[in-house]
Structure 1
Amino acid sequence: MLELLEDPALDYTIWEWAAAVWAGWLTGNNKGTADLSPEEPLRGESESRCGELQQIASVQLQSGCFGLSPPPEPEQKVSVAVGEMTDGANQSLTLYCGSSPPKAADILKDLSVPAIILYSVLTLMAVIANLVYIEEVIYLIKKVPATNRRATIMWVSGAAPVIASTSCVGMWIPLASMITDLTTAVYFAVVIHKFQRMMIEEFGGDEAFLKRFNDTPVKISTGPCCCCCLCLPFAKISRRLMFVLKLGTFQLAFLRPVLMIFTLVLWVNGTFSLDDLSPSGPAIWINSSLGVCTIVALWPIGIVFNKVKGELKDQKIIPKFTLYQISFILTQLQAAIINITALSGGIACAPPFSPTARGGYMNQQLLIMEMFIITLLSRIYYRRKYYCQEIDEMQSTVKTQDAQSLSNGTSLIP
């Protein structure tokens, strides 16, 4: 009997049998047991009481008074298990899909072999892009005199390696994606201003540019502001127009860092969120202001490029301008399109990434590959041969600038 009671497969049947025997003893109806009392009058009095005890025993058995609960039906057990799994999965998806980007440790511990290979290849691309840029900087330092032209070339050609580096950091550390994106935006705003300066410096500076194009007509009905305003008259190159054109790009190089710092402060405070595009949130107003500033800054570059593209064919200004435009589209419009797609539900949640975090994650991986290719192309077009006559003109320009600065009591050389 004790061996049967210790058998876990017979728990429910043994206890049911024991309860039935116990109830049968109380009622005196058990065939395999002796009567509790030989006195017949007591049997009738106890039958009603024993019936109540039998009901109580059955209720206690069903409620688990013996430390057990009656086994559910098989279909009921399956439905309960599926329901619990579904509820747990829904809670996990809700947790991940509505959360911030995951930590780096959460990604590293779940990396599969294909993911490790992908991360390694993309990181290698970013490292090679930086090495190519460093080699290009060394070449410019050796071949080009210390002029504003060399500085602007270094700024512009460094856009792709810097973007690849920040994207690589954001890929490995998703929580830092906000900081890396802001760094990319600030650097490229400076590049937009420096590209305009580079086109002017190819002629030897502001004075040489004005001497070459003074009082010549220039078309101002160019994109992205006035491409549809074909009725606008031609303007003439002057010192005042040059100041306006430089101010148009400088405002972006100044305002974007200010707005990005303000955005970073709001993000740390928990006020700024890319997902919140309501009129009461700061994201839509900051992004709208940046969009207007960017469009205004692109307009002067188009004006200057249309004016000098015929004169700077030997300096390969058209391929350089094309690379600049491609970099702008990839860093600005590509990120905006992916973010809008994620907010509209076009990108599914994939734990531990929410839709927005997954969209940023995809954008960073794409940028590393794209900037790697642009870095290789930039090396071809920016690392060109500088002829002796051109270097002599640069050196004469440096001497002229130094003489002017000394006459004014200042020095351009630190």
Structure 2
Amino acid sequence: MEFEEVFNCSLQFEDPTTSQLIEAIDGNYAATITLVVATILSIITFVVFMEGEVFVCRKIASRRKVQLSFIMGIYPVFSTTSLISLYVPRASLVARFSAQVYLSVSLLQFVMLITGYFKTRDNMRRLLKGSILPLGSPPLLIFASCCLPKIPITEGNLLQIVRIIKAAVLQVAVLKPILWFVATVLWTNGSYKPGKIGLHEPFIFFQIASLLSTLIALNGIIILFRLCKEPLKNFKITPKFFTVQLALVLTTTQSILIAILISANVITCRYPFSARMRGSYIDNLLTVVEMFFFNIMATIWYRRLEGNIDPEDQLRRRYYAQLSSTYKVDPAIQIAMGDETDVMTSLTTSETSSRTLDNNSNEGKIVLNGVELNGKGTNGYHQTKDLENGSTEI
């Protein structure tokens, strides 16, 4: 039959079309259930992301909103591209290329988010002045930590250090898309065979270059994180860094490890999949499952006001929320219209203009705007009426 020839173990580097794949797994309940579960997980990941995106767009300031949206989008993008690779095996390289380009841009957005938490350069200098920059940070320089010096942060070298860290992350945003673009061009020519390891195969060289670029960027992000961890503890950057780091490391190293397992015959040909296709399916399935859990963790820490807005802004929002619950006024409208002073004045006037009347005696007492009015019988009545009519005489 046709699909038996397509999935022959001797054809290690030929991907089937979608119709051939569906024909091959027809009756294979394990493969069908696996595809259905992967589809459900990917849909849930996308729905959770969209809900968090709506929350961020409504509650967070404009520039920070864009940065948070890029970072939160890492997980549904990888989940969706991996799902596409499961259904359309021949689009696997193009889908992975698109996901890696998005990841590279998101890493730069993450660095901009961390530095943006300081709000101004002067504030950054004030908070980081006197800190120690550990050059011996994982993953690249951890073994040289005993030899490398620790640089004290001063006002003169702070901006230069931040520029170097941004450059370390920027290189992955430029280099990895170029690498994947060249790999896609070679793949269309038949020269690039994903998963095939050999001295004359471009796959291993592209993967090593991509891994080194990723490790350099990761090293810069770790240095930035260790430098800003204490000054920015109110912004909860530790779990945010953890979710981004996991996504970066796993998406880069996982495919290399699976390729090594294929070369070592740990992952072998098993009908209806060749060894390379089984490895690709395992990689994409793991990515879908991993992104499902990573997206949940990212939603917990990115989809919230605490840790994503400035403490002063958070206190002000709580203040207006209390006013809103008392006077039924939308706090967003108060902030947008600049009615903070008017609302506070109204609150003070309402409290000082309270009236008390003693109904248990014949003597009436009225307190109006801090002025105590006393009267008996008709005199008290006329005093009250004069005030109501706007008269200044008592």
Shared fold by TM > 0.5?
Answer: yes
Q: Distance in 2 between matches of 1:352 and 1:155?
A: 38
Q: What is the CA distance between 1:214 and its match in structure 2? A: 3.9
1:166 correspondence with 2:84: no
Match of 1:125 in 2: 41
Counterpart mapping for 1:190-229 below 5 A:
190-204=105-119, 206=121, 208-214=123-129, 216-229=131-144
Q: 1:105 aligns with which of 7, 16, 19?
A: 19
1:234 correspondence with 2:154: no
**Does the CA-based 8 Å contact 1:145-1:391 persist in structure 2?**
no
Alignment: residue pair count: 306
Match of 1:407 in 2: none
1:356 correspondence with 2:276: yes
Q: Distance in 2 between matches of 1:242 and 1:199?
A: 11
Q: 2:182 aligns with which of 240, 249, 262?
A: 262
Q: Distance in 2 between matches of 1:308 and 1:388?
A: 16
| Residue range with higher mean Cα deviation, 325-334 or 251-260 | 325-334
| DSSP-derived class of the 1:334 partner | helix
Q: Distance in 2 between matches of 1:171 and 1:205?
A: 46
Match of 1:253 in 2: 173
Q: What is the CA distance between 1:236 and its match in structure 2? A: 3.6
Deviations 1:12-50 (A, max 9, x none): xxxxxxxxxxxxxxxxxxxxxxxxxxxxxxxxxxxxxxx
The one-letter code sitting in structure 1 at the alignment partner of 2:95 is T
**Does the CA-based 8 Å contact 1:219-1:234 persist in structure 2?**
yes
From the superposition, tell whether residues 132 and 261 of structure 1 become closer, same or farther in structure 2 (CA, over 3 Å): same
TM-score, normalised via structure 2 length: 0.71
From the superposition, tell whether residues 111 and 312 of structure 1 become closer, same or farther in structure 2 (CA, over 3 Å): farther
1:334 correspondence with 2:248: no
Q: Distance in 2 between matches of 1:107 and 1:287?
A: 27
Structure 2 gaps of 5+ residues are: 317-394
**Does the CA-based 8 Å contact 1:170-1:176 persist in structure 2?**
yes
**Does the CA-based 8 Å contact 1:129-1:161 persist in structure 2?**
yes
Q: What is the CA distance between 1:193 and its match in structure 2? A: 2.5
Q: What is the CA distance between 1:190 and its match in structure 2? A: 2.3
Deviations 1:55-90 (A, max 9, x none): xxxxxxxxxxxxxxxxxxxxxxxxxxxxxxxxxxx9
Deviations 1:310-344 (A, max 9, x none): 23333222112222222223212222211210122
Counterpart mapping for 1:12-411 below 5 A:
94=8, 97-109=11-23, 110-112=25-27, 113-147=29-63, 149-204=64-119, 206=121, 208-214=123-129, 216-229=131-144, 230-237=146-153, 238-386=158-306, 389-391=311-313
The one-letter code sitting in structure 1 at the alignment partner of 2:18 is A
| DSSP-derived class of the 1:279 partner | coil
The one-letter code sitting in structure 1 at the alignment partner of 2:148 is L
Q: Distance in 2 between matches of 1:345 and 1:304?
A: 41
From the superposition, tell whether residues 215 and 313 of structure 1 become closer, same or farther in structure 2 (CA, over 3 Å): closer
**Does the CA-based 8 Å contact 1:96-1:352 persist in structure 2?**
no
Q: Which has the larger radius of gyration?
A: 1
From the superposition, tell whether residues 245 and 93 of structure 1 become closer, same or farther in structure 2 (CA, over 3 Å): closer
Q: Distance in 2 between matches of 1:317 and 1:256?
A: 26
Q: Distance in 2 between matches of 1:309 and 1:146?
A: 24
From the superposition, tell whether residues 176 and 92 of structure 1 become closer, same or farther in structure 2 (CA, over 3 Å): closer
**Does the CA-based 8 Å contact 1:101-1:353 persist in structure 2?**
no
- Structure 1 ranges of 4+ moved more than 4 A: 90-97, 386-390
Q: What is the CA distance between 1:96 and its match in structure 2? A: 5.2
The one-letter code sitting in structure 2 at the alignment partner of 1:298 is L
The one-letter code sitting in structure 1 at the alignment partner of 2:100 is A
| DSSP-derived class of the 1:218 partner | strand
TM-score, normalised via structure 1 length: 0.68
